[in-house]
Amino acid sequence: IVWHSETTSSDINEFEYSDVKFNNVRIFADYIEIYNAKSDCKKVGIYNILGNEVLSEFINSNAINVNVINISRLQAGVYFLKVKNKVFKFLKK
């Protein structure tokens, strides 16, 4: 997973989870790109702070594909991205 953000932070560390990668910059405006070349993940879900699923996407697991999740319609706030059985917290601005 690659998080795209409008931040200018130079303190970006990469995290990995079962062939899914993302940066620790977790404030987003419009979209999240997911690269899951070796992952068997087929679906990701986004949940609000109350635990309600607000968005789910089926993703293509081909190595050359980039999956874009449009989060522009979500209101600003705290959300959780679930990938397989792992949950990642992010902020939508």
What pLDDT does 63 receive?
53
Predicted confidence (pLDDT) at residue 65 exceeds the cutoff of 90: no
Positive or negative CA dihedral for 76, 5, 83, 12?
Answer: negative
Domains recognised in the chain with CATH numbers: 2-92 (2.60.40.3080)
Q: Which residue has the tokens 């979209």?
A: 31
Residue range 22-26: average pLDDT?
Answer: 55
Residue range 38-51: average pLDDT?
Answer: 83
Chain length of the chain: 93
Which tokens sit at 1?
Answer: 């997973």
β-bridge pairing 2-3 and 31-34: antiparallel
CA 54, chain centre distance (Å): 13
pTM for the model stands at 0.70
Summary mean pLDDT of the chain: 72
At 56, the pLDDT band (50, 70, 90 cuts) reads very high
Q: Answer whether 63's CB lies under 8 Å from 24's CB.
A: no
Which tokens sit at 29?
Answer: 């405006």
Residue range 70-93: average pLDDT?
Answer: 87
